[in-house]
Structure 1
């Protein structure tokens, strides 16, 4: 069984391990450049900008998945939850832990009276796309992702 709870600062080492595992899965391990210190400060410092829920295996208390989000503002819709990452370790995929986390995020967004939740998924990640389809998610093919790195 899994226990879903809010992330705490002491979880960050394990969360970074899962982030690196995701980067390997997405064939981009070199893209993870955030330091543990910056990650911790951003989530648990004086002005946190992200929040997360973790899934622990009850028998071991090991974190096997997490969902990290922040609040963004849409001039059309108002405040919305942005799901940055939903990461489930490979050994636990397909066992319902992602569902538990996703449904906890939906509950959190509703509790905060947010106008909805948005996220991105890679077009080749068919298991993820199939998962989101179960929630009747809208898929938008019109928008192009853009970024600038400094």
Structure 2
């Protein structure tokens, strides 16, 4: 399924299993932009299993003149306060040479439309504090920073240690 957008020659489609190498490429490009390439542990095999077998997340691909230029990876979360699911945007990436043309806005508005269609209460994501251009973009789109919240993460050996405490 390919959807036309307001921008001439720019379409959005749901990713397919054959897109796994492309998704991996986009992830690495994004990680490089964020100066975090050394933190990428994902592999094509892991993405295939997570996205297309377990269906833990979804991906949309933005194409300009039938060439992939953007992607977004997202999944459902749930708000106990709202009592409904939400969409959590893990990554939104537009190739540097394609930025400023409105593609990011279209991708984000597509996800908002999807959230409304799925009766979600929220569309959320996090942004690196230093990424001022993205922060400005998100605020222009109506996003509000949640300054009073701090993201916590347990991973690697700390995750293993915490899991072991379950039975003891």
Bin the TM-score by the shorter chain: over 0.9
Structure 1, gaps ≥5 residues long: none
RMSD: 1.1
1:1-150 matches, within 5 Å, as: 1-45=9-53, 47-58=54-65, 61-77=66-82, 78-150=84-156
1:71-106 CA-to-partner distances (Å, cap 9, x unmatched) read 001211231100000011111111111111111101
Larger Rg: 2
Q: Which runs of 5+ in 2 are unaligned?
A: 1-8, 157-168
d(CA) in 2 for partners of 1:145 and 1:115? Answer: 20
Q: What is the distance in 2 between the residues matched to 1:115 and 1:142?
A: 20
Q: Which has the higher contact order (CA 8 A, sep 6+)?
A: 1
Q: What is the aligned length?
A: 147
Q: TM-score, normalised by structure 1?
A: 0.93
The runs of at least 4 aligned residues of structure 1 exceeding 6 Å deviation read: none
Task: Name the TM-score, length of structure 2 as normaliser.
Answer: 0.83
